[in-house]
Amino acid sequence: MIEFLSSPLFLHALCTLALASLASGLIGSYVVSFDISLIAGSISHSLLGGIGLSLFLTHTLGRELFSPLLGALITALLASFLIASLNNMKHKMKGPILAAIWSLGMSLGLIFFSKTPNFGIDLSHFLAGNILFISQEELSLLLFLDLLILLFVLLFHTRFVQIGFDLRQALLQRLPVKGLYFLLIFLIALSVVILMYAVGILLTITMLLLPPAIGRVHAITMKEMMFKTIIFSFLLSFIGLGIAYMWNLPVGATIGLTISLLFFVCAPKQVKG
């Protein structure tokens, strides 16, 4: 156990969880409070398209044109651009369009994977996540993405909160609502890429939505909700990592299970509140 705790593998995993918790706390709080979880779900599942294309081209050409992480990032940005072009959060065709982006990315990804030799291993790696095998380069890029998110949140937090609270007032006060909406979708895209590396595509939504839902209980301000969420998210995923190591379970799934169980403990409070 002590050997594992002092290994670079564990330290990398711990850093990834810390970065994922920061993204979950900052951006997940907006997603939950503004009730735009379908947007996050759509972007997170569409990532598989970019990852599949990256692996397919690497195997076909014999060299890496772009990494799966870059593939995921480009897909996330493309999806966020498409979603943001809907202009507002209450567009009447929003649901079907988000579902189309969701299924387009997922379907393309599965087709690319099916045409790639030994696709089963890679596919489960990205769907369920495996933070124990994250490289130093990937960790550096995730850190960069997190810092970018933190910077934008520090700069535009007040405006995001006011737009979410009362869009009409934001328009009256001549806030650049469309631009800020696009920026928020872009930040969601960056967050899902980070979370994908922590828990995998299938459980990204778990980490983006459930810790903020727990953090919102009794929170008076968004800042308080974000702070609580970061703490909960890190503690719960750390506990999940420990359980996975002790009982030899998949890390992403165990983290997802830990977070989900605590959510159900807190759920009655949420439903009531």
Partner 1 sequence: MTETIEAHSISFSYEKKSPILHNVSFSIEKKSFVAMIGPNGGGKTTLLNLLAGLEKPDTGSISLFGENPPLHPTSVGYVPQNLAVEASIPITVTEVVLGGLLSQLPLWGSFSKQHYDKAHHFLETIGLTNYCNKAFQSLSGGQKQRVLIARALIGEPSLLLLDEPTAHLDAHIEEELYSFLVDIQKEKKTTIILVSHQIQSLLSRVDLILSVHGTVETVAPKALCEHFALGLYHPPLIERSAP
Give the residues lining the site for partner 1 (CB under 8 A). Answer: 33-35, 155, 158-159, 161-162, 164-166, 168-175, 216, 219-222, 224-225
Query: Residue 136 or 221: which CB sits closer to partner 1?
Result: 221
The one-letter code for the residue type at 192 is V
CA distance 102 to 45: 6
The Cα angle at residue 201 between residues 66 and 179, in degrees rounded to 5: 75
Burial class (CB in 10 A: 0-12, 13-18, 19+), 161: middle
Quote the least distance from Cβ 141 to partner 1, whole Å: 26
Quote the least distance from Cβ 164 to partner 1, whole Å: 5
Quote the least distance from Cβ 222 to partner 1, whole Å: 5
Alpha carbon 161 to its chain centroid, in Å, reads 20
Quote the least distance from Cβ 98 to partner 1, whole Å: 20
Q: Are 176 and 167 in contact (CB under 8 A)?
A: no
Could you give the 3-state DSSP secondary structure of residue 98? Answer: helix
Query: Residue 63 or 90: which CB sits closer to partner 1?
Result: 90
Query: Residue 30 or 197: which CB sits closer to partner 1?
Result: 30
Q: How many helices (H) and strands (E) does the chain have?
A: 12, 0
Q: Are 210 and 256 in contact (CB under 8 A)?
A: no
Quote the least distance from Cβ 165 to partner 1, whole Å: 5
Query: Residue 126 or 186: which CB sits closer to partner 1?
Result: 186
Query: Residue 221 or 248: which CB sits closer to partner 1?
Result: 221
Query: Residue 171 or 246: which CB sits closer to partner 1?
Result: 171
Quote the least distance from Cβ 225 to partner 1, whole Å: 5
CA distance 149 to 244: 29
Query: Residue 95 or 179: which CB sits closer to partner 1?
Result: 179
CA distance 179 to 32: 20
Burial class (CB in 10 A: 0-12, 13-18, 19+), 243: middle
Burial class (CB in 10 A: 0-12, 13-18, 19+), 215: buried
Quote the least distance from Cβ 101 to partner 1, whole Å: 25
* Integer angstrom CA distances of residue 150 from 153, 205, 249: 5, 20, 32
